[in-house]
Amino acid sequence: MMGKVSEIREQVDVCVVGAGHAGCEAALACARLGLETVVFTVSVDSIALMPCNPNIGGSSKGHLVREVDALGGEMGKNIDRTFIQSKMLNVSKGPAVHSLRAQADKADYTRQMRKVLENQEHLTVKQAEVCELLWTQQDDKKKVTGVKTFTGAIYECRAVVLCTGTYLKARCLCGESITYTGPNGLQAANYLPDSLREMGIELRRFKTGTPARMDGRSIDYSKMEEQFGDERIVPFSFSTDPESIQKPQVSCWLTYTNERTHEIIRDNLDRSPIYAGIIEGTGPRYCPSIEDKVVKFADKDRHQVFIEPEGLCTNEMYVGGMSSSLPEDVQLAMYRTVPGLENCKIVRNAYAIEYDCINARQLFPTLEFKEVKGLFSGGQFNGSSGYEEAAAQGLIAGINAAMSILEKEPLILDRSESYIGVLIDDLVTKDNREPYRMMTSRAEYRLLLRQDNADLRLRKKGYEVGLISQTDYERLLVKEELIDREIRRLKSHIVGAGQEMQNFLMAHGSSALKTGSSLAELICRPELNYEILAPIDTDRPILPRDVVEQVEIEIKYEGYIMRQLRQVEQYKKMEKKKIPQDIDYDAISSLRLEARQKLKEFRPISLGQASRISGVSPADISVLLIYLERRNQSETEIKL
């Protein structure tokens, strides 16, 4: 399998396998917590590579980036350094779904992230394929002890974080032509899956796809709708000074497929590896290929196509909305039916990629393997899809690998605290049969989990694990104090119903006051807001924009927020009810058979997690609750 065995034998604290979006966050977290860390990649030129869409963020994904930043991760800062267009999405809707999305200069994104990794203390970047995990048996579990690379070099360590993305036994399909490579023709990683299987780790095949890249000079933009960035740019990172990123932006373009496009696709479905059954892996329902769209949404006479620049130093344009694995000639014919692409030249063909990944039910919410101590994983390898989902998991896996070595409490975020909590809980609790993509609809407490308050929700946790500096933490405390004080002031500041006030309200189309009212009550009126009230609120303090934003949302949505906080109380009660891992479900006779099987297979850590396992009914949860209470009682009596 491997070349002449290298004599190299290194000792470090953590080995991170993969320098994609997950691996970068995991490696930086471990190194920043003072642990000697090595991060492996098959090519150092592909650090934080964006093999698909040239943007970071978007609906719910923007929330994840903000949360990663609030906890001390790097993605938010890196996109603030390298964006070429920025837009706040869904601003016509409520703040819960406002989501930032930024177009990245892909080459610069990789360059800047590489620079951060290469200059991080305690971190070594290594171009080498990890082919084997080393481990020993410890009581009834395995314990990881190191990794071996293709050259036979051995890196002994106390924890390993697997972030291998779309590279394990990867193969790329473009019609009938198949290449056994990773994305963008990079080397696939073909040995590690066998080593994982030998350790009893279950693997499965997933797939995803990407559209073609066009030569921008061959595109006729006059036939498309130009899409502009926002005038005022909002940063992703809470540490980025908004004034420092106001700059000229590039445009994206909107066009559509048409019946001719759909006809070409329908006529060639037999040559599609998806429909010809060549592709084994399961693809993401929420990121369908154009073939899938034409077949599954046959009633639609057109689909949106977004033409997005890949960077400032290239003419390559990304054709968003038309990922495909149809043969090259069919691709050219179908793309050339799209208005503006009539004479397009394809720089890179569209293709689908298949790869090995795990069923994340093998993981605890810490992202550590249940059966292998010290082995953690994050990203696409866990069955998710997307740069942002990967970064979020990589950060948590990295933090918890470090916490396990430093013998500190692991960081587990729950569904009421963050989108990261929803993401990880869904991955490790639900039976995901396709790549998991985050959506706002997945977060039941989304009014509390807004992207604008990620720092207020998570920065303290980032500080407690040691990734947020004292200065940034104190800045947060000041912000919290300013928000509380201003809300209290607006609630206690009563304005009279005098003529001047009535004239002011009339001028803003707002109904007259019958008696005095607090400024907070006025802000709750849909036609009024904090800014509009400035003329009648003369002694207001000058506050930063982000503080004003919080004050306004907290006041305007107070009722909804309070209701959701009450729901969270109920939820937390169930999460707090821990289930001991040595529980014998077979001993609980009144549990239904299906529930017993699911609980034994799954071994949930709390009653809350048990209640989210499909096949475990509320009645089973009541049985379990009674059993646990009786068990606690008898244990207390024994102690007594």
Ligand X SMILES: Cc1cc2nc3c(=O)[nH]c(=O)nc-3n(C[C@H](O)[C@H](O)[C@H](O)COP(=O)(O)OP(=O)(O)OC[C@H]3O[C@@H](n4cnc5c(N)ncnc54)[C@H](O)[C@@H]3O)c2cc1C
Nearest CB to ligand X, comparing residues 20 and 311 = 20
Residue type, 208: T
What is the DSSP-derived secondary structure letter of residue 186?
A: P
Nearest Cα to Cα of residue 572 among 615, 606, 617, 622: 606
Residue type, 375: L
What span, in angstroms and rounded, lies between the C-alpha atoms of 583 and 267?
57
Residue type, 266: R
**Shortest spacing between CB 435 and ligand X, in angstroms:** 8
Please pick, from the candidates 120, 210, 255, 325, the single residue that binds ligand X as defined by CB under 6 A.
210
Question: Does 380 sit near ligand X (CB under 6 A)?
Answer: yes
What span, in angstroms and rounded, lies between the C-alpha atoms of 360 and 383?
7
Question: Does 20 sit near ligand X (CB under 6 A)?
Answer: yes
Question: Does 78 sit near ligand X (CB under 6 A)?
Answer: no
Please pick, from the candidates 12, 16, 23, 87, the single residue that binds ligand X as defined by CB under 6 A.
23
Cβ-proximal residues to 371 (8 Å cutoff; 6+ apart), any chain: 141, 142, 200, 201, 362
What span, in angstroms and rounded, lies between the C-alpha atoms of 150 and 130?
6
**Shortest spacing between CB 257 and ligand X, in angstroms:** 17
Nearest CB to ligand X, comparing residues 103 and 385 = 385
Please pick, from the candidates 62, 321, 386, 421, the single residue that binds ligand X as defined by CB under 6 A.
386
Question: Does 387 sit near ligand X (CB under 6 A)?
Answer: yes
Question: Does 40 sit near ligand X (CB under 6 A)?
Answer: yes
Nearest CB to ligand X, comparing residues 387 and 419 = 387
**Shortest spacing between CB 348 and ligand X, in angstroms:** 10
Nearest CB to ligand X, comparing residues 129 and 316 = 129
Q: Which stretch binds ligand X (CB under 6 A): 13-21, 414-422, 499-507, 510-518?
A: 13-21
Please pick, from the candidates 159, 287, 495, 605, the single residue that binds ligand X as defined by CB under 6 A.
287
Please pick, from the candidates 82, 85, 166, 366, the single residue that binds ligand X as defined by CB under 6 A.
166
**Shortest spacing between CB 170 and ligand X, in angstroms:** 8
Nearest Cα to Cα of residue 48 among 132, 108, 120, 129: 108
Give residues 422-481 in contact with ligand X (rule: CB under 6 A). Answer: 437
Nearest Cα to Cα of residue 357 among 378, 328, 326: 378
Please pick, from the candidates 209, 288, 327, 374, the single residue that binds ligand X as defined by CB under 6 A.
209
Residue type, 400: N
What span, in angstroms and rounded, lies between the C-alpha atoms of 454 and 550?
11
Nearest CB to ligand X, comparing residues 365 and 379 = 379
Which is it for strands 225-227 and 130-138: parallel, antiparallel or unpaired? Answer: unpaired
Nearest CB to ligand X, comparing residues 95 and 183 = 183
Question: Does 130 sit near ligand X (CB under 6 A)?
Answer: yes
Question: Does 522 sit near ligand X (CB under 6 A)?
Answer: no
Could you identify the residue written with the tokens 């590579």? 49
Nearest CB to ligand X, comparing residues 20 and 146 = 20
**Shortest spacing between CB 378 and ligand X, in angstroms:** 7
Q: Give the HSE-up count for residue 371: Cα atoms under 13 Å, Cβ half-sphere.
A: 12
CA 613 to the chain's CA centroid: 22
What is the DSSP-derived secondary structure letter of residue 606?
A: B
Q: Which stretch binds ligand X (CB under 6 A): 40-48, 474-482, 499-507, 632-640?
A: 40-48
Would you tell me how many other CB atoms lie within 10 Å of the CB of residue 142?
20
Q: How many residues bind ligand X (CB under 6 A)?
A: 40
What is the DSSP-derived secondary structure letter of residue 373?
A: E
Give residues 322-351 in contact with ligand X (rule: CB under 6 A). Answer: 323
Nearest CB to ligand X, comparing residues 21 and 373 = 21
Rg (CA), the chain: 27
What span, in angstroms and rounded, lies between the C-alpha atoms of 100 and 452?
10
Nearest CB to ligand X, comparing residues 22 and 605 = 22
What span, in angstroms and rounded, lies between the C-alpha atoms of 560 and 501?
28
Question: Does 46 sit near ligand X (CB under 6 A)?
Answer: yes
* CB neighbour class for 199 (10 Å; exposed up to 12, middle 13-18, buried from 19): middle
Nearest CB to ligand X, comparing residues 133 and 588 = 133
**Shortest spacing between CB 190 and ligand X, in angstroms:** 8
Please pick, from the candidates 183, 288, 309, 398, the single residue that binds ligand X as defined by CB under 6 A.
183
Buried b (16+ CB within 10 A) or exposed e, 466-500: bbbeeebeebbeebbebbeebbebbeebebeeeee
**E-state strands within 490-539:** 494-495, 517-518
Nearest CB to ligand X, comparing residues 41 and 78 = 41
**Shortest spacing between CB 514 and ligand X, in angstroms:** 53
Could you identify the residue written with the tokens 């890949």? 310
CA distance from start to end of the chain: 60
Nearest CB to ligand X, comparing residues 125 and 454 = 125
**Shortest spacing between CB 353 and ligand X, in angstroms:** 4
218 contacts 71 by C-beta, under 8 angstroms: no
Please pick, from the candidates 16, 31, 189, 482, the single residue that binds ligand X as defined by CB under 6 A.
189
Q: Which stretch binds ligand X (CB under 6 A): 92-100, 374-382, 461-469, 473-481?
A: 374-382
Question: Does 311 sit near ligand X (CB under 6 A)?
Answer: no
What span, in angstroms and rounded, lies between the C-alpha atoms of 89 and 107?
25
**Shortest spacing between CB 207 and ligand X, in angstroms:** 9
Binding site for ligand X (CB under 6 A): 17-23, 40-43, 46, 49, 51-52, 129-130, 163-168, 183, 189, 192, 208-210, 287, 323, 353, 379-381, 385-387, 390, 437
